[in-house]
């Protein structure tokens, strides 16, 4: 088990006041909130900050944590000394059993199972209640939406043990990704949420689908955009060229006199589904380098014979 430096995580000194800790927590919670933040590891940081605050906001837990001493380094292998919590009477303020999966082993060892009655899940419930619905995210590739795919996802599930304690269990599901799925859509797995109480039916599991960034394609709703490089003469004279699509290469006719940035629509070549999207090839005119005498001669010829002024609209030559 690794030691966690809650003061460093919270960005405050060890002698910070409760107000300073609260202010720092609010700031960090806004910065790393998973629904708002664009930071890459927002969710992990948010949990870490929440855990640190759970300890530091409670004077009693903070005092117990302080008693472990300052000699520990973050990440250092840690075992709590015997009787480290003697003299403290944990009341579990704010810590609820339902959050168990969110905390680190370090926290669990110090403040989790140790103090009796935390969160108040004692006793066996005798009523029937449908299990909670669970929510998670899953990242897939664009290609997975075309061909359908199976993704293996791991979930940490809090579980109530026979004596009323909470543990977490890793559960792996193999999930079929339906063809034609789009970013932001949900998949429902009936009965895969939390187990029901007293023999009632379990809840459902909802997976929100997002796509990995693709090197070639950009997805907008059901439509797919592709930047398609073309030679100046292909754009000017028209051409039949091969274009990659997620479903394989297809032939595309470039009309003569196409401009840079022209969008060519390939109807029905976007994401599949009840209402298939379109694929847009966005022409990117690519200039051949003038790195040989032959190339320079050709450019010179165009300069002399075309009389082309790209800045005519600006009134300058």
Partner 1 sequence: MDKKDPSTPAVELIDEETTFTLAELCRCCDVEAELIEALVEHGILEPAGRQGRYWCFSASSLRRTRITLHLQRDLGVNLAGAALALDLLERIDELDARLRALSR
The one-character DSSP state at 126 is -
How far is Cα 278 from Cα 246, in angstroms, rounded to an integer? 12
CB of 275 to partner 1, least distance (A): 9
**Cα Rg of the chain (Å, integer):** 30
CB of 80 to partner 1, least distance (A): 29
141 part of the interface to partner 1, by CB under 8 A: no
The one-character DSSP state at 218 is E
Kindly tell me which of 115 and 211 has the beta carbon lying closer to partner 1. Answer: 211
Q: Which of 184, 232, 244, 268 is in the footprint of partner 1 by CB under 8 A?
A: 184
CB of 118 to partner 1, least distance (A): 19
How far is Cα 62 from Cα 38, in angstroms, rounded to an integer? 31
How far is Cα 311 from Cα 302, in angstroms, rounded to an integer? 16
Q: Provide DSSP, 53-117.
A: HHHHTSHHHHHHHHHT-S---TT-B--PPTTTTTT-----TT--GGGGGGS-HHHIIIIITTSTT
Q: Are 194 and 134 in contact (CB under 8 A)?
A: yes
285 part of the interface to partner 1, by CB under 8 A: no
62 part of the interface to partner 1, by CB under 8 A: no
196 part of the interface to partner 1, by CB under 8 A: no
139 part of the interface to partner 1, by CB under 8 A: no
Burial class (CB in 10 A: 0-12, 13-18, 19+), 5: middle
CB of 83 to partner 1, least distance (A): 35
241 part of the interface to partner 1, by CB under 8 A: no
Q: Are 182 and 221 in contact (CB under 8 A)?
A: yes
220 part of the interface to partner 1, by CB under 8 A: yes
Q: Which of 22, 57, 113, 130 is in the footprint of partner 1 by CB under 8 A?
A: 130
CB of 48 to partner 1, least distance (A): 14
192 part of the interface to partner 1, by CB under 8 A: yes
Residue range at the interface with partner 1 (CB under 8 A); choices 29-37, 105-113, 233-241, 258-266:
29-37
- Number of Cβ atoms within 10 Å of the Cβ of 96: 12
Distance of CA 104 to the CA centre of its chain: 20
204 part of the interface to partner 1, by CB under 8 A: yes
As given in the structure block, the two tokens for residue 153 are 């996802």
Residue range at the interface with partner 1 (CB under 8 A); choices 61-69, 84-92, 168-176, 228-236:
168-176
Kindly tell me which of 64 and 271 has the beta carbon lying closer to partner 1. Answer: 271
Please name which of 270, 274, 275, 283 lies closest in space to residue 219, comparing C-alpha atoms: 270
Q: Are strands 186-189 and 239-243 parallel, antiparallel or unpaired?
A: unpaired
CB of 133 to partner 1, least distance (A): 5
Binding mask 86-125 for partner 1 (x = CB under 8 A): ----------------------------------------
Kindly tell me which of 75 and 261 has the beta carbon lying closer to partner 1. Answer: 261
172 part of the interface to partner 1, by CB under 8 A: yes
Burial class (CB in 10 A: 0-12, 13-18, 19+), 291: exposed
Kindly tell me which of 88 and 206 has the beta carbon lying closer to partner 1. Answer: 206
Binding stretches for partner 1 (CB under 8 A): 26, 29-30, 33-36, 46, 50, 130, 132-133, 135, 150, 172-178, 180-182, 184-192, 204, 206, 208, 213, 218, 220, 225, 227, 273-274
């Amino acid at each position: 088990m690794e030691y966690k430096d809650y003061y460093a995580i919270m960005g405050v000194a060890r002698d910070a006041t409760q107000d300073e800790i609260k202010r720092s927590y609010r700031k960090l919670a806004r910065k790393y909130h998973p629904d708002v933040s664009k930071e890459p590891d927002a969710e992990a940081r948010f949990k870490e900050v929440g855990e640190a605050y759970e300890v530091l906001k409670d004077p009693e837990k903070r005092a117990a944590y302080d008693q472990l001493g300052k000699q520990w380094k973050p990440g250092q292998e840690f075992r709590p000394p015997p009787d480290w919590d003697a003299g403290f009477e944990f009341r579990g303020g704010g810590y609820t059993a339902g959050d168990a999966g969110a905390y680190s082993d370090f926290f669990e060892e110090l403040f989790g199972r140790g103090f009796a009655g935390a969160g108040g899940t004692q006793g066996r419930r005798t009523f029937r209640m449908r299990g909670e619905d669970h929510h998670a995210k899953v990242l897939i590739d664009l290609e997975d939406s075309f061909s359908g795919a199976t993704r293996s996802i791991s979930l940490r599930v809090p579980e109530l043990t026979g004596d009323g304690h909470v543990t977490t269990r890793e559960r792996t599901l193999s999930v079929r990704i339906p063809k034609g799925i789009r970013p932001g859509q949900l998949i429902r797995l009936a009965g895969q949420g939390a187990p029901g109480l007293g023999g009632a039916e379990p809840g459902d599991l909802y997976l929100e689908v997002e796509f990995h960034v693709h090197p070639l394609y950009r997805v907008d709703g059901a439509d797919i955009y592709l930047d398609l490089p073309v030679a100046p003469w292909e754009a000017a004279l028209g051409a039949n060229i091969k274009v990659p699509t997620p479903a394989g290469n297809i032939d595309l006719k470039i009309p003569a006199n196409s401009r840079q940035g022209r969008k060519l629509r390939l109807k029905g070549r976007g994401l599949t589904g009840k209402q298939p999207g379109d694929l847009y090839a966005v022409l990117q005119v690519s200039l051949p380098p003038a790195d040989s005498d032959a190339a320079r001669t050709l450019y010179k010829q165009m300069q002399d014979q075309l009389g082309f002024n790209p800045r005519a609209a600006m009134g300058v030559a």
